[in-house]
Amino acid sequence: MLLASGLAMGSCTLFRPRDKAPVVETVRTVDSPTPPTAARDLADVIAADLQLTTEQTGQVRSILNGTVQQANAAKAKYPAKSPQLMAELKRINVDSQKELKVLLGPVKFKQLQTDQRKIAAEMQQKQK
């Protein structure tokens, strides 16, 4: 009887309203803008993988920041999955790859290409 009256009075934490806000997870789609932190995170993963200097890491981060800004501008300009958007994103990616190749040199750039899947997996882990 005592247990029943305690539950009825609301003394049990299961029945009290909670003050916490619900957890909302952001779902990104292909046409969502890329968050600015993505360039920083990717540069950090690349730097660790390729054992880059602090200066090289900053330069990679700068290249990737520019890439993110251009990609987000293209996503805002063109409809999602449109041929124009796909062409623009491809052009942006090619330009970024050229800049990275010049910065890293042929040996480290080749290693970057070889390790792309590993780097992508690390990025997915960072985003969880």
pLDDT (0 to 100) of residue 2: 39
The encoded tokens of residue 112 equal 């970057």
Average pLDDT over residues 62-66: 95
**pLDDT tier, 4 (very low <50, low <70, confident <90, very high otherwise):** very low
Whether the Cβ atoms of residue 104 and residue 76 lie closer than 8 Å to each other: no
List phi, psi (to 5°) of 32.
-70, 145
pLDDT of residue 31: 61
Q: What is the mean pLDDT of residues 66-75?
A: 94
> What is the C-alpha to C-alpha distance for residues 74 and 86, in angstroms, rounded to an integer?
9
Instruction: Locate the DSSP E strands across the chain.
Output: none
pLDDT at 115 (0 to 100): 94
pTM for this model (two decimals)? 0.72
Question: In sequence order, which ranges of 26-82 are alpha helices (DSSP H)?
Answer: 37-50, 54-77
Dihedral sign (CA 32, 48, 40, 90)? negative
| pLDDT tens readout for residues 8-57 | 444 444 444 555 555 544 555 656 788 878 889 999 999 999 999 999 99
The token duo for 85 is 């958007």
d(CA 52, CA 29) in angstroms, rounded, equals 31
CA 57 to chain centre: 17
Alpha-carbon distance of 75 to 69, in angstroms, equals 10
pLDDT digits (tens, 9 = 90+) for 90-123: 999 999 999 999 999 999 999 999 999 999 898 8
